[in-house]
Structure formats: structure tokens, C-alpha cells
Structure 1
Amino acid sequence: MGSFKGHALPGTLFLVVGLWHVWSCVFRHVSNPKAFRVRVWSPVPGFEGKLKHLELYVITVGAFIDLCIELLYSPHLKLFVNGVLNPAHMNDFEHSGMLLMFFIFGLVALLSEKTSFLPLPEGALCLIAATAFCAEYLLFYFHSTTHKGLEGYYHLLLVLLIGLCIASTVAGALLPTSFPIDLCSGIAITLQGLWFYQTAFTLYGPSMPDGCQLKGGDIACNSVESEARGEYLANIQLFSLVLGVLALVVGSYGFAARQFGHSELRSLRVSQEE
């Protein structure tokens, strides 16, 4: 079960953060490649430092708003029925747990950056972010809502993208000077956001594959062939998104290197080739 808005809202958050992560990673590398460090969040330059922590506020506030929607609005404040959690909204409660982890990450990062109460190194923040992605991975892998058929296939691909987010974030804590790992993290987050959108448009929007339809919150296909055709379409969609994001990354790097490239950038590349 799901909805267009239920996929589009988290998709927007992941997409915005992922695109910003990609650009910031590229900009920081071309500006000073020798001083490059992995960052689990990227400060916004300029504006006299007033927007420096904007990304963390987007993560914290966005996760909190989505958390309230899943925990309070979706079950219409009926959290308990006959003394137990409302069984009709277990998926909403599970989503709330995932969003709570991202809210905690954003809050901890803000406390670490803006106060002296919790001075955590960047590697520790990477591991906290990886924990939030792990919670998301476990949520979609062991979902109380049984994802079968075409819907299950779309969520399987989503789980693979979340796994890539986990791996790249943990690797960033272990290899804090690696530009490819930091870039991979931004790409994985961007792809996750795009795949949320793709799922929303395909399963709950105007792009439903022929022979499949939405019935009572579930995706039903008329035949095995229709379901297989929908899965093939999902493969093509994911390939197209990966290709598009890679083209965007290459274009961004070329633009950033031309506009903001450090004088050491070319010599560093030559030394690496040698």
C-alpha cells in the first residue's frame, strides 16, 4: 500500500539533499583538491554565514514534518485500538521510525556544529547518518505491508539504492579524504530521491504499465506477462535515471572546474597519471 504523496514528499527531501551534496562535493574538490575532506553535510557559503546550516535544517524540519504526517495525520490520531497499536496503520508507524532516525541525525549534527555540548568528528556523523539509512533499509526490507508483484519489484530496487547509501556513508567515515566516495554518496542519495518519484508516478500516478492497475491500494496485473513487462520497464527507468545523474555529475564537474578550478587541479591529475 502507498500513495503518490507518500512517495513524493520523502523523494523531494532526498532529491534536494542529494543534488546539493553532489554540487558541494564537486565544488569543494575543484576549489582545493589537496584539502578535500568527506562531509556528511555541506555548508552553504556566503550570506554572511546565515545559511551555513541550511541543509541540516532542511533534513531536521523536513523529517519532523513528514514524521508528524505519518504518526499523527495518517492514522487520524487513532494510535491505539483496543489497547494495541492501530493494526491498520502499522506501515505509517514504521515510516515514522525511519523518519525519526533522520530527525535525530539532523538534530545531533546541529548540536555538534552550533554548540559545544556534543562536539562530534565528521566520521562519527557519517556513522550516525549510516545508522539512519540502515533503519530505512530494514524498514523497506522487513515491511509489515507485504510488497508483492510489481510493487515489490520497485521497492526491491529502492532497497538496493538505500544499501548503496549505507555503503558510501560508512566508507566516507573510513576514508575521509576520498573524493569518489563522497561523490558516490551524493549520487546514491539523489538516485534514491528520483526513484521515490519514479515509483510515485509509475505505481500511483499516470505512468502505470499496460495491464496493471491500482486496486484498493494494491497493484494488480492482469497476467504474468504484464507484470514481467512492468519489471522490464522498471529496469529501463532505473538505467535512465542512473545515466541522467551521471551526465549531470560530469557536466557539473566540467562547469565547476572551468569556473572555480584551483591551479593545482591540473597538476594533481598529471601527478596521479604519472
Structure 2
Amino acid sequence: MVSFLPSHMDQGVIFGVLGLWHAFNTLSLYIRTPRRFRYRTWFPVKLPWTFKYLELWILLFIVLMFIYTQMSHALPDLSSGVIQPAHIQRFQHVTFAFFFLLYTIVALVSEQSSFLPLPPGVLQSTFALGFLLELLVFHFGHHPGDTLESFIHMLMQIVLLGLVSFMFMEILWPQNFLVAITRCMLLGFKGTWFFNIGILINVPSSMPLGCSSGTNDFPDCPAGEPLMRAKAIQVLVFGCQMLGIVTGTIVGYALLNRFLIKGPYLQILEDLEDPLTKSDSDADADEENEDVPVISVIPRSLSRRPVSRNSTMSPKR
């Protein structure tokens, strides 16, 4: 996406850091206010207002650099009026990049001014449409056939399908923490898998046995045992990355729960809370009291008098 790292590795770092940033803030938000939790498409930085929208500005810069890089390679070939086959994928990448560009611009305009008030879910759906178009590009426009490259992109499609699905599920269930944190994990998973593709392309020592460097510097594995072995290794890497992300999220939740609730940051977090709103413990106590039915003691009826044993009626003679 940008040129500070080799191909695909830079995109892996960007989406990996973005997923980690979203997971950290989602976990912190849920731990602090579990009963008032609501998903966020982006998270402001607690700095002076000029840096509050740092996430959006960084993403805007990265998207613009990506579009410029792709178009700088493809535009010179348009002088003949025909898109060269080698550059069709660049134009495909630019199409979904424009969705990310639209998302950042709309978010900045909406958040920094009253010119564009947006109903809930608009930013999230715009961001999700960019990933949906990327999924379609990978599915219909990338390397069909039984090759290692097509297999790796198929695994990427699984991640993208899950990411898009959970992004739209967040709009339907905005207070569901499980949906929100799963979306963050899938966003980070997209980054780690991109990084794995970059390693496979740019690191010669990662070449699978029996394979050689093919088109686009991607390993070319002959059909048979070399291809099956290379695919099996990628499935293993895929599963290990998934396991690592889930484990890291659980460990991160435990650490944040320890330091945010019982650690030295409690007083700072309490100062940031709105004093006019009830704390979550108070809300829980109120709900518990509402759930307990009110039991009133009904006095014994005055018409019912205790009957002594000696007052039993004798049978009539």
C-alpha cells in the first residue's frame, strides 16, 4: 500500500496496527462501561483537538499514497486508450481504495463540522463496502486456477468475508461486545495474513520445497506433492495466526481488566466519567432490586378464628 516496506508486508503492518488499535479501545471501552457499551467505527485520540482525529488523518494519508502509487504505474499506459492486462489489477485495487478514501473524508467532514450530519451506521457501512469490493476483486479478478497463489488468496477471502459480515452485524447490534471484538480480531487477522503473503513473496528462505519463483515473484509449485505440501503449510500458518489472535485478545482482556479496574489508572478513568450518569455497579444494583418481587405479608383474616381442641362439637343425639 505504501513503500516503506516490501509488497504486502506494508499492508500487513497497516491493517495489523489498525486492528490492534481497535481491539485495545474496544476492550477498554467495554471494561470501563460494559452496560453502556456501543461499537465505534473509529476511535479518537485523547490529545488536544488537533490530534483527536489522528486515526482518520493517518488513514487518509495512507489511502492517498496507495492510490498515487497504483495510478503512477498504470496511467502512462493509457495514452493508447487501452488498459494493459498487467495493470488491470491496479485499477481494481484503486476502486476499493476510493471507498476507503470516501470513508475517511466523510468521517472527517462529519466529525469536524455540522455540514454533514450522518445517521448511525453510515460510516460503518461505507467502510464495510470498501472491504466488500476488495473481497469481490480477490474472488473474481485474482489468479484463478489451482495454484498456491490462488489458494492463499482464497484464504484471504475467508477473512474478508468474516470481516464484512461482522461489520454489518455491528450496525444491526451496536451494543453487542462479542460482535465488535470479533470484527477487530478479523481486521488484525487481515493484516497478519497480508504480512504472511509478503514474507512468502519477498523472503527467499520461505520458498516451499519443490517450488520456484514464478510470476509476480510468487512461488510456482508444480501439481502433485509439492503443491499439496505448500497448501498444507499455509493452512497451518492460517490456523496458528488465528489461534494467536484469539489467545492474544483473551490475554489482553485479562490484563486490561486488571489494570483498568484494579490498577493505578482507576482514578484517571473515574475522572473521565460523566458525574451525572450512574455507574455500572449502581445500574446493576437497581436492576437486581427490580428483579426481586415485592412480598407483602397478608394479615390473617379476622373472620378466621383459632379453633381450640376443647371446642369440638359433639355429635347430635
Q: Is TM-score (shorter-chain normalized) higher than 0.5?
A: yes
Which consecutive residues of structure 2, in runs of 5 or more, have no partner in the other structure? 267-278, 292-317
Shift of 1:104: 1.1
Shift of 1:220: 1.4
Shift of 1:222: 3.4
Matches of 2:215 and 2:103, distance apart in 1: 35
Residue 100 of structure 1 pairs with residue 98 of structure 2: yes
Alignment of 1:71-82 (within 5 A): 71-72=71-72, 74-75=73-74, 77-82=75-80
Q: Give a deviation string over 1:59-92, Cα, whole Å, max 9, x none.
A: 21111111111111x33x4141521223321111
Shift of 1:216: 3.5
Alpha carbons 1:151, 1:203 under 8 Å: kept: no
2:60 corresponds to which letter in structure 1? Answer: T
1:212 corresponds to which letter in structure 2? Answer: C
1:129 corresponds to which letter in structure 2? Answer: F
Higher relative contact order (CA 8 A, sep 6+): 1
Q: Give a deviation string over 1:10-57, Cα, whole Å, max 9, x none.
A: 222211111101000000010111111111111122x23432211111
Matches of 1:222 and 1:133, distance apart in 2: 32
**Residue 194 of structure 1: aligned partner:** 192
Alpha carbons 1:40, 1:169 under 8 Å: kept: no
**Residue 224 of structure 1: aligned partner:** 224
Alpha carbons 1:165, 1:189 under 8 Å: kept: yes
Alpha carbons 2:193, 2:238 under 8 Å: kept: yes
Q: Which has the larger radius of gyration?
A: 2
Residue 68 of structure 1 pairs with residue 68 of structure 2: yes
Identity between Structure 1 and Structure 2 (%): 27
Is the deviation greater in 254-263 or in 111-120?
A: 254-263
**Residue 136 of structure 1: aligned partner:** 134
Shift of 1:147: 6.0
**Residue 270 of structure 2: aligned partner:** none
Shift of 1:203: 3.5
**Residue 107 of structure 2: aligned partner:** 109
Shift of 1:145: 4.6
Matches of 1:164 and 1:219, distance apart in 2: 27
Alpha carbons 2:12, 2:195 under 8 Å: kept: yes
Alpha carbons 1:42, 1:55 under 8 Å: kept: yes
Matches of 1:154 and 1:93, distance apart in 2: 21
Cα RMSD between the aligned structures? Answer: 2.5
Task: Specify the SS of the correspondent of 1:84.
Answer: coil
**Residue 255 of structure 1: aligned partner:** 255
Alpha carbons 2:207, 2:219 under 8 Å: kept: no
Q: 1:49 to 1:252 in 2, by over 3 A?
A: farther
Is the deviation greater in 91-100 or in 172-181?
A: 91-100
Residue 7 of structure 1 pairs with residue 8 of structure 2: yes
Which consecutive residues of structure 1, in runs of 5 or more, have no partner in the other structure? none
Alignment of 1:171-190 (within 5 A): 171-190=169-188
1:215 corresponds to which letter in structure 2? Answer: G
Q: 1:121 to 1:258 in 2, by over 3 A?
A: farther
1:120 corresponds to which letter in structure 2? Answer: L
Shift of 1:264: 4.0
2:164 corresponds to which letter in structure 1? Answer: I
Alpha carbons 1:204, 1:214 under 8 Å: kept: no
Task: Specify the SS of the correspondent of 1:230.
Answer: helix
Matches of 1:197 and 1:180, distance apart in 2: 26
Aligned length: 266
Matches of 2:68 and 2:222, distance apart in 1: 37
Q: Give a deviation string over 1:226-254, Cα, whole Å, max 9, x none.
A: 11111110111011111111121111111
Q: Give a deviation string over 1:177-232, Cα, whole Å, max 9, x none.
A: 11111101110100001000001112342312111121242531134111111111
Alpha carbons 1:168, 1:181 under 8 Å: kept: yes
Q: 1:26 to 1:144 in 2, by over 3 A?
A: closer
Is the deviation greater in 97-106 or in 212-221?
A: 212-221
Alpha carbons 1:187, 1:245 under 8 Å: kept: yes
**Residue 122 of structure 2: aligned partner:** 124
**Residue 207 of structure 1: aligned partner:** 206
**Residue 236 of structure 1: aligned partner:** 236
Q: 1:79 to 1:148 in 2, by over 3 A?
A: farther
Matches of 1:144 and 1:250, distance apart in 2: 35
Matches of 2:41 and 2:99, distance apart in 1: 15
> TM-score with structure 2 length normalisation?
0.78
Task: Specify the SS of the correspondent of 1:41.
Answer: coil
